[in-house]
Amino acid sequence: MKNFITIEGCEGVGKTYHTKRLKEFCEQNKINALFTREPGGSRIAEKIRNIILDPTNTDITNMCEAFLYASCRVQHLEEIIIPALKIGKIVFCDRFVDSSFAYQGVARGIGMQKIRALNDIAVGEYMPQFTLFLDLSAKNAFMRKGGAQNDRLENLDISFHDKVYAAYKELAAAEPNRYIVIDASGKKDETFKLIIDSLKERGVF
């Protein structure tokens, strides 16, 4: 969908950081945009998310979790995203359907086919026009944040996050027109410039 842009990538690569920078950029340049993330201030979506995140819900199955994410997504989409697009705003969303492809579809092992089918129903024609993929592995993002200085690295399930990263790379290769691959290994300002330039090149700004 035109003017719907999502920001994706592994944990800690700077999605939230760069979404904030984009918000500042839009404010400074008087660009009419909405910035959101799931559950995005939707009361019902928030309630659904609380079920997913409730640490006592250890018996939740992978498939049930996938359906709940899709439910949360559709509520946020219909209540927040679609109305903003309809009044001509550019909508930036920090994580969206590709997170389900990478996490539920691949890393949790449900399979891309099922996750695609489920999310096709939830998202319909509202697939993002562009997806900014901040290309950096979770491990490298963790090291950058100073993770190497403590031993929390052991707590990070590297193989799980490697699967997520590999899944994103495959998605990007399969959809080169939608995916904008941004080298996120550089300094913050360098990465942000790559993002702005790529959006200008594609006529978003």
Ligand X SMILES: Nc1ncnc2c1ncn2[C@@H]1O[C@H](COP(=O)(O)OP(=O)(O)OP(=O)(O)O)[C@@H](O)[C@H]1O
Q: How far is the CB of 96 from Mg ion (least distance, A)?
A: 13
Angle at 46 (CA atoms; ends 142, 97), nearest 5 degrees: 60
CA 194, CA 31: separation in Å to the nearest integer? 19
Q: Please give the residues from 23 up to 82 whose contact with ligand X meets the rule CB under 6 A.
A: none
Q: Please give the residues from 94 up to 153 whose contact with ligand X meets the rule CB under 6 A.
A: 144-145
Which residue do the tokens 């609380």 mark? 50
CA gyration radius, the chain: 17
**Which does residue 128 bind out of ligand X, Mg ion, none, counting CB within 5 to 8 angstroms by kind?**
none
Q: Please give the residues from 45 up to 84 whose contact with Mg ion meets the rule CB under 5 A.
A: none
**Which does residue 17 bind out of ligand X, Mg ion, none, counting CB within 5 to 8 angstroms by kind?**
ligand X
Say if residue 128 is preceded by a cis peptide, omega within 30 of 0: no
Measured from the Cβ of residue 162, the count of other Cβ atoms closer than 10 Å reads 15
Q: How far is the CB of 87 from Mg ion (least distance, A)?
A: 26
Determine which residue in the list 3, 4, 6, 12 makes contact with ligand X, applying CB under 6 A. Answer: 12
Q: How far is the CB of 185 from ligand X (least distance, A)?
A: 7
> What is the x/- site pattern for Mg ion, positions 13-32, by CB under 5 A?
--xx----------------
Residue partners of 172: CB distance under 8 A and separation at least 6:
133, 135, 179, 181
